[in-house]
Structure 1
Amino acid sequence: MKTKLILFLSGVLLSTGALQAQANQECATTASLAYSDAKAKNYDAAYPRIQTLRKECPTYSIVTYQYGERVLKDKLDNATGAEKEAIAKDLIELYKERLQHFPAKTEAGEVYVDIAQVMYDNKLGTTEEQFAAFDRAFKEDKASFNAKSLYTYFYLLVELQDAGKKTLQDVFDKYDIVIAEVENDENEMAEGLKKLLDKQEAGESLTAKEEKKLNAYEVNLKAYSSVKGSIDAKLGQRADCDNLIPLYSKDFEANKTNTDWLKRAAGRMSAKDCTNDPLFFKMVEALHKAEPSAKSALYLGQLAEAEGNNSKALEYYNQSAELETKPSDKATVYNKIAHSYKEKGQFSQARNYYRKALNAKPSFGRAYLQIAHMYAQSANNCGNTAFEKRAVYWLAADYAARAGRVDPSISSNANETAAAYRGRAPQRSDIFQEDMQGKTINIGCWIGESVRVPNL
């Protein structure tokens, strides 16, 4: 009896193993055909096989979901009406399946962002549901957001505020967070771009990989610059003094010892030039009393400047810059100091602070542009000959051009400025006549840099 049972169980196990082996072989065959079609962009042929893999072999390979995304996105691009909605919903399911079956190889934040964007792009769910999807993704991993998703996230919040479902304070709070993320991404890309530009300007050739990176940095910087402008436009008149002053006046007494609230409120009033209102002074006093900081020093500097006490303002601004830890804000303070020196004609000091601003925020193109303007203004005072003096404009043009590359929001103005300065520099006939092609000119006076004469 025992022998018969053992033989029966052995037969069952062998049968099960054979069936499993057969199933695995069928999965492998279907996958091979599906992946081959998808790789060749024959998405219509790949689609049914991908769907079979999802249903019958969900854990076979993560490649099923990678190619499946391409296939469904292609179908989505070519679908309309009810079919488009059905495919969008299926794409969301595919994202969820990938996260379920391959969690170790899938970034949850990226999946949530993708799901939220598909919902928005295809009008799935209410505005509240779409915003909730983005909010979940942002809380999971804000680094997973790209320029488009950051804008959509903020756009949906403003739409909810317009509908009375979110408060103006909600919008302001989220604006600060989203803009900070945009600027963090900008700075990382600008830093990478700067290194490659420095290598080029040193006369070194970029590798093919570096050329690709340089192009990617410039394209992405343009995208983030555009998004930042769109977010600011969406915020629009909500952030003007007429709205800010009554909003913060109403909440001041309850928050006069809340340093986080004071920093945000005073920061926004400062950014929108609402500093002449008595409320701003009350906020600064309360902030400096509760927690002397970079921000309170900055605002005290603004008040001193408004009263005409420029030396005291500079003292506060320097304190603020030294205490500030946020790169974007540090750059803004250094820019204020630089501008003050520039207005007084103290160009060397101004350049020092513009460079400090750039060290803090490499995408701060306006600093490069201001240095370019100062060089151009100094052209007649630097150099021993007329040729050398005009050569200063080449250097000014280089700085102006770099301004537009690291900050695409000012590229039009920067490129026009660079072209104008090149027009004032020695031309081909001048270079030929002076026999200066390819030579290096050391520019004296306060500039202290060199410029290479172009080859003919």
Structure 2
Amino acid sequence: MKFKIAFTLFGVLFALSTANAQDCNVTLSLFNESAKVKNFDDAYPKYKDLLENCADLNILIYQRGGKMLEDMIDLAETDDKKMQLVQEFIANQRMRLEKFPNDTKEGDMLADIAMIQYKNEIGTLEERLEAFEEVVETDKDNFSSPVAIYAYFRIANDLNDTGERDIQFLFDKYDEVILLIETQENDKAAEAKPLIEKQEAQEELTSRESRILKNSEIYLRNYTKIKGSVNSLLGSKADCDNLLPLYKKDFEEKKNDLNWLRNANERLSAKDCTEDPLFFKVSEALHRQEPSANSAYSLGQLAEAEGNRGKALEYFNEAAELAQDKVRKARIYYRIANNYKERGSLSQARSYYRKALDNKPSMGIAYLKIAEMYAKSANNCGESVFDKRSVYWLAADYATRAGRVDPSLSSTATATAASYKGRAPQKSDIFQEDAAGKKISFSNCWIGESVVVPNL
């Protein structure tokens, strides 16, 4: 008898649980449809019901709920209503992170929260800054939104404009933000690189690969725009006219302060304030205390300015070996490559351009430099006139790649690639040689690569 009662109770509970799950799914479906068409009068009550009764059901509650609340904030007619919705949006993002941590990036959620505070001017400038700093401190690898990164620096700039923070603070934030952007650029360019190479080899991308490549290129274009906007905000605040008096004033007092020397050296070097005697003083003082990538690089700049290229290369190579940051390492390798290129050591130059690209895949200018060297070597590679002119296809591929990994070079890269293609064999030449699809090798010269003749 007791067994029958227990079994009956279990059946009732199971039936209620099943019914509740069905109700939750129905409510979620109705909520999703209403929210999609922006019928918020119908969607909002269903959203609240889902939070109260079905909070663990599906991540869609929070994905669609967040978008709905953002729209409702924009439509709010009073400040009190807007504030209420902002707090609900923040709670939505935090609850999504709590309920579905495996499907949610913490950096994305914290950036969303910081952005909603920024857009709606919630709290003081310092409080808004702290919201973005939390993203960097907690999950900077997933701090990827170009708009949010720009907002972060905009707040820092506003704090400097109001006199609440000094110029050194702004410089520090600039360095931090540029590193965030370049880190994301590198990730997206590295993601795109094998897919671009696959296209260049005339292989068809899968639908998934095409989607990844498209998204990567969109992000790269957006990062380029944001970087330009950040540089525009900093503007004349970081030119030599402002930097040199700032550091000259403090040099005697700070010449044994390692952190101060590092910052001064980095800033003066980045802005090419290298002709003033102060730069030499800072660089020497820094290198004595702590031989580093920055100090070695600065001494390389000085040696180069004095015309001592051999000594400059020694310092630059030392700087590259000491550099811990990949972006910094890439810049140094790029400078070494340019030095070799100017001396006509093309194979050495390419080697260093490739090292730069290994460390910073979004450095499109390095691809353009390789393309230029290939194009200028066309007459020295290949057995026949057709083969020699085929070098231009290879040069065009490198030029095209430059614009794809660095959208700021897009127009230059497109024009350069078109110029090289114009010098390559044309359709009639390919037909006459019966060369369509043929692989041409340039192993008889320093290039040492090959290219597939296109079907024009």
Q: TM-score range by the shorter chain?
A: 0.7 to 0.9
Instruction: Tell me whether 1:217 sits opposite 2:216 in the alignment.
Output: yes
For residue 45 of structure 2, the aligned residue among 44, 48, 53 is 48
Q: What is the rounded CA distance, in whole Å, between the counterparts of 2:446 and 2:132 in structure 1?
A: 52
- Mapped to 2, the partners of 1:330 and 1:231 lie a distance apart of 22
Alignment counterpart, residue 64 of structure 2, candidates 67, 77, 80: 67
Shift of 1:27: 6.2
Q: CA deviation at 1:101?
A: 6.8
Tell me the C-alpha RMSD between the 2 structures: 2.8
Q: Secondary structure at the match of 1:132?
A: helix
CA distance in structure 2 between the aligned counterparts of 1:105 and 1:421, rounded to whole angstroms: 46
CA drift of 1:317 comes to 1.2
SS in 2 for 1:436: coil
| Corresponding position: 1:190 with 2:189 | yes
Does residue 251 in structure 1 map to residue 244 in structure 2?
no
Letter paired with 1:33: V
Tell me the alpha carbon deviations over residues 261-300 of structure 1, each in whole angstroms, 9 at most, x when there is no partner.
3222211111111111111111111111101122221111
Q: Confirm or deny: 8 A CA contact 1:151 1:231 kept in the other structure.
A: yes
Deviation digits for residues 383-418 of structure 1, max 9, x if unmatched?
A: 333322221111110000001111112111111111
Q: 1:353 to 1:137 in 2, by over 3 A?
A: closer
Amino acid in structure 1 at the alignment position of 2:364: G
Q: Does the CA-based 8 Å contact 1:35-1:46 persist in structure 2?
A: no
Match of 1:425 in 2: 424
1:448 aligned residue: 448
Contact 1:372 1:400 in 2 (8 A): yes
- Secondary structure at the aligned position of 1:319 is classed as helix
Please, which runs of 5 or more residues in structure 1 have no aligned partner? Answer: 1-16
Going from structure 1 to structure 2, the CA distance change for 1:282 and 1:56 (only over 3 Å counts) comes to same
Structure 2 residue matching 1:268: 3-state secondary structure: helix
Query: Which residue type is aligned with residue 197 of structure 2?
Result: D
**How far did 1:375 drift?**
1.1
Greater alpha carbon shift after TM alignment, 220-229 vs 159-168: 220-229
Match of 2:140 in 1: 142
Q: Which residue number in structure 2 is paired with residue 123 of structure 1?
A: 121
- Alignment size in residue pairs: 440
Is the 1:218–1:405 contact (alpha carbons within 8 Å) kept by the matching residues of 2? yes
Structure 1 position 166, deviation (Å): 0.9
When normalised by structure 2's length, the TM-score is 0.88
Per-residue CA distance 1:103-127 (angstroms, 9 max, x = gap):
7876554433211101222333333
**320 and 205 in structure 1: CA distance in 2 versus 1, 3 angstrom threshold:** same
What secondary structure is seen at the aligned counterpart in 2 of 1:451?
strand
1:25 shift after superposition: 8.0
Distance between the aligned counterparts of 1:367 and 1:181, measured in 2? Answer: 21
Q: Which amino acid aligns with 2:445?
A: C
Structure 1, residues 20-67: CA drift from partner, whole Å, max 9, x if none? Answer: 999978964653333102333255332211123435665676654333
- 1:14 match: none
Superimposed CA distance per residue, residues 412-440 of structure 1 (whole angstroms, 9 cap, x where no aligned partner): 11111111111111111222223222222
Partner of 1:384: helix, strand, or coil?
coil
Partner Cα distance (1:107, 1:302) in 2: 42
- Aligned residue in 2 for 1:11: none
CA deviation map 1:347-401 (0-9, x unaligned):
2221111111111211111110001111111222323333222211111100000
TM-score by length of structure 1 reads 0.88
Match of 2:339 in 1: 340
Runs of 5+ unmatched residues, structure 2: 1-9
Greater shift in the superposed pair: 51-60 or 129-138: 51-60
